[in-house]
Amino acid sequence: MQLMNYINGNFCPQTSGKWITNLNPATGEEICKVPISNSKDVKEAINSAKNAYPNWSKYTPHERAIWLDKIADKLEEMFEEIAQLESMDTGKPISLSRNVDANRSVANFRFFSELIRGMEIEEFEMKDATNYVIQKPNGIGALITPWNLPLYLLSWKVAPAIGMGNTVVCKPSELTPMTADLLMRAVDEIGLPAGVINLVHGNGIETGSLLVEDSDIDFVSFTGGTVTGSKVASSAASTFKKLSLELGGKNSSIVFADCDFEKTIAGVVRSGFLNQGQICLCGSRIFIEEEIYEDFKNRLINAVEEMKIGDPLDEETDLGALISKEHLSKIEYYANLAIEEGGTLLTGGVPCLPKAFENGNWMAPIIVEGLSPESRCSKEEIFGPMVTLHIFKEESELIKMVNNTRYGLAGSIWTKDLDKGRRLSESIETGMIWINTWLHRDLRVPFGGVKDSGVGREGGKWSLGFFSEAMNVCVKHE
Ligand code: NDP
């Protein structure tokens, strides 16, 4: 199977003649060939978006919201296909693909449809004049997404971007292109006006950078690693493109002695290892109050070892495969580094699986103790099934340890003392904190990080703000 780009309402072959082989992470078998789009393909996609822009940007928000609902309806029909493709492409358990990926992809379109329908023009009265604030589209956008939550994150950008009247060119990760292709089939089947959404496949170095650099691109919404984000920011800077960067994280889970033990164990395990720890929000450094450290650690190890690792398509599976051989090597590198840095691996390693999975990328969850909070393993983003445990005694010492990383995306605090939880949240340098829960998402709230975890906010009205330009019209009274 060879994937095609989607440009101006048509599936078109690429012109470079170069391909990437997309492999199933669980088995190592080939799924499809992914085109590496070149400058001609990218330019055609941008031109298609440019041609569609004048008409699409004149649609009313209500008319555009109707299209978002049509996309949501179509994706709902394709729900099981989304889950199956996502599971095959990423190696994640099918239960997760259904409950998180497929569900949220539909929900993103529905949510932004409703939000856009409800938009109101803000007015500010002066003694002698009235100000109106109009939200105009930015223009032509590049939407670049990573491999861990492929359609979930793409739909999170596409829905508000086109909902606000922009037209876009999408570039999904070369490692997980299948559900982006499905989204193009969905918009094709419902007859969305040609050129509103275009897609070019390819790798980041060639296709992605060509897209970001192009002078006809007005804005870039990028989710991915911090190093790539920095390159994207540099190439966008020379033409002052509007930029939203959702980048890496190294998030803390803070466990106080007064927590609800059972719920906290379940929450910390989920936060550490959901999607094999490959979620930017995962809590990979766990700070445990001294008096419960040993007990909590032992219960955590038991809970992690009870998780079922294996066939992503088995309904009972808790943990699937890692995205690629390179990523598996990265996790192995950090596991070895943890030992070099003085840590002890309490559990984890290569699991024993049936022959069908011998060429897949497998790693059972790793828990490390005994590392300094200053160690590389405790501060760098690993983005896989590996967590480090740390002991704390005092709140002031805890705050210093939690803030000693270049990242600032998310975190969770586990305590029955909600005043303490709220007070501590405010001292943590991060964009998001959950108290006694994790990844409990309300789509209306701001999403994004501080420090090296990103620039800007998306989510709810913040997405509408990023995907539009606020314009002030001041009318002098008679
Ligand atoms: P990458 O940064 O490697 O890639 C992200 C996307 O950017 C991919 O589509 C990639 O293409 C593309 N890309 C790579 N180089 C360039 C370039 N020079 N110009 C333009 N585009 C480029 O991230 P991963 O895909 O490895 O995803 C994992 C990272 O994403 C982690 O750091 C994680 O924390 C972060 N992330 C952040 C989230 C957040 O909301 N803050 C959410 C989810 C993930 P290709 O892969 O085809 O080369």
User: 420-473: per-residue pLDDT in tens?
Assistant: 999 999 999 999 999 999 999 999 999 999 999 999 999 999 999 999 999 999
Cβ atoms within 10 Å of 340's Cβ, excluding its own:
10
Whole-Å CA distances, 189 to 57, 59, 341 = 22, 20, 55
Mapped onto helix, strand or coil, the DSSP state of residue 340 is helix
If you write DSSP's letter for every residue of 234-296 in order, what string do you get?
HHHHTTT-EEEEE----EEEEE-TTS-HHHHHHHHHHHHHGGGG-STT-EEEEEEEGGGHHHH
**Residue 280 falls in the annotated catalytic set:** yes
State percent of the chain over pLDDT 90: 99
Under a CB-based contact definition with an 8 Å cutoff, are residues 141 and 195 in contact? no
The reply to whether the predicted model has a pTM over 0.85 is: yes
Q: Provide the pLDDT confidence category of residue 385 given band limits of 50, 70 and 90.
A: very high
Indicate the helix (H) or strand (E) that contains 352: none
Of 246, 369, 381, 458, which is the active-site residue? 246
In this prediction, residues 191-214 reach a mean pLDDT of 97
**Residue 352 falls in the annotated catalytic set:** no
Please identify, by atom number, the ligand 1 atom nearest to the C-alpha of residue 203.
Answer: 47
Of 170, 280, 282, 377, which is the active-site residue? 280
CATH number for the domain whose boundaries are 251-442? 3.40.309.10
User: Alpha-carbon torsion 15, 10, 221, 121, what sign?
Assistant: positive
Delimit the CATH 3.40.605.10 region(s) of the chain.
Answer: 5-247+453-476
In this prediction, residues 187-207 reach a mean pLDDT of 98
- The secondary structure of residue 324, as a DSSP letter, is -
- Closest residue (by CA) to atom 22 of ligand 1? 204
Locate 137 and state its tokens. 């589209």
> If you classify domain 5-247+453-476 with CATH, what class do you get?
alpha beta
- The Cα 396–Cα 260 span in angstroms is 23
Delimit the CATH 3.40.309.10 region(s) of the chain.
Answer: 251-442
Q: Is the minimum distance from the CB of 217 to ligand 1 under 6 angstroms? A: no
- The Cα 274–Cα 384 span in angstroms is 10
Locate 283 and state its tokens. 């809590």
